[in-house]
Amino acid sequence: MSPPQPQSPSSSSSSSSSSSSAGKNNNGISFTITHMNANHQDSLAYYLRAYNGVSAAEAATATLETITLSDLVIRTNKNNNGGNRYTVALDPPLQSFSETRARLVAMHKECLERLHLSDVKITTYRVPSRPGDVLAFLICLSGILAFSRPQHLLPGGWVYEGLRLGTGWWWPQGFAGFCARMQPAVLAFTLVVHAFEAAVLAYTRLRKHGVALGSAVWWAWVLSTLVEGFQGFKRFDRLVREEEAKKK
């Protein structure tokens, strides 16, 4: 048997350089995986929802397992009998792992567009505080309470007596009776319109800005809009603009 041939210095240097490069890549990928799982779990959920059609509830449990030049491997429900594993293709494939961060950011933005979501998250409810907001809320609430029962608008009722519907010279004759007869229609119309506005707010605003369906914040905005109507949109949009300004 011939003795092993000594390795040339250039060959040894090349092997060492290759090993060093591979080590750096592995360290970088490990850091990226840890960073994504710790700080960008929402992005992983968006990838699954936009590219793999996974439900929002399942995607919320996403954990990044591995990254290759051609795909991401993401597991959901990790603590539930192993969960499900999904492959998210990187199209086109990465040329090197140095492109990973830029590609993940680009995918995040693309997913937001596909899902009609925003990077601005709203996590709080803002009570009416401006004079105009407070006045609009009180007027709407008073109107709903006043027309909640016809008895409120007839002699002895708190609206009738408080506004002097029967004795005030500023009211047309028979105005109290007219309001009492119209009470069911006025109440139904107001509630239907405000319910529609609350539904639109939930779909076009709350969903878009990450307010979880059925959460305390979600209910606060929906119930508030049921009372005040479109004024709730204006207050929510102001809050969004403030959060956008903080990101700049």
Domain harbouring 37, CATH code = 3.20.180.10
Work out the average pLDDT over 63-84.
87
My answer on whether 135 and 101 are in the same domain is no
Same-domain check for residues 155 and 213: yes
Query: Would you say residue 126 lies in a domain?
Result: no
The answer to the question of residue 125 being in a domain is no
Say what the pLDDT of residue 18 is: 45
Roughly what angle, to the nearest 10 degrees, separates helices 131-146 and 216-228? 70
Distance CA 216, CA 227 (A): 17
In a domain, 145, yes or no: yes
Q: Are 142 and 96 part of one and the same domain?
A: no
Q: Is 12 inside any structural domain?
A: no
Confidence (pTM): 0.77
Average pLDDT of the segment spanning 197-222: 96
Tokens standing for 141? Answer: 């609430």
Same domain, 190 and 110: no
Q: Residue 25 has what pLDDT?
A: 59
Domain-terminating residue out of 58, 89, 115: 115
Tell me, yes or no, whether 55 and 158 share the same domain: no
Q: pLDDT per residue over 171-205, tens digit each?
A: 888 899 999 999 999 999 999 999 999 999 999 99
Tokens in use for 131?
């004079």
Q: Which domain holds residue 37?
A: 18-115
CB atoms within 10 A of CB 232: 27
Q: Average per-residue pLDDT in the chain? A: 88
Residue 179 forms part of a structural domain: yes
Q: Is a pLDDT exceeding 90 seen at residue 208?
A: yes
106 falls within a domain: yes
Question: What's the chain's Rg over C-alpha atoms?
Answer: 30
Q: Is 127 helix (H, G, I), strand (E, B) or coil?
A: coil
pLDDT-based confidence at 79, cuts 50/70/90? Answer: low
Domain-embedded: residue 1: no
Same domain (yes/no): 175, 220 = yes
Helices (H) and strands (E) in the chain, counts: 9, 3
Asked whether the bond before 93 is cis by omega within 30 degrees of 0, the reply is no
Give yes or no: residues 93 and 149 share one domain: no
Retrieve residue 130's tokens: 């401006």
Model confidence band, residue 29 (pLDDT cutoffs 50, 70, 90)? confident
Specify whether 233 is located in the same domain as 145.
yes
Q: Is residue 2 part of a domain?
A: no
**Residues 84 and 177 both lie in one domain:** no
Number of domains in the chain: 2
115, 145, 163 — which closes off a domain? 115
Mean predicted confidence (pLDDT) in 26-34: 83
| Domain shared by 109 and 145, yes or no | no
Q: Are 105 and 199 in a shared domain? A: no
pLDDT at 21 over 90: no
Same domain, 76 and 184: no
Of 70, 86, 115, at which residue does a domain stop? Answer: 115
pLDDT at 166: 83
Residue 78 tokens, joined: 């990790």
Bigger pLDDT: 161 or 248?
A: 161
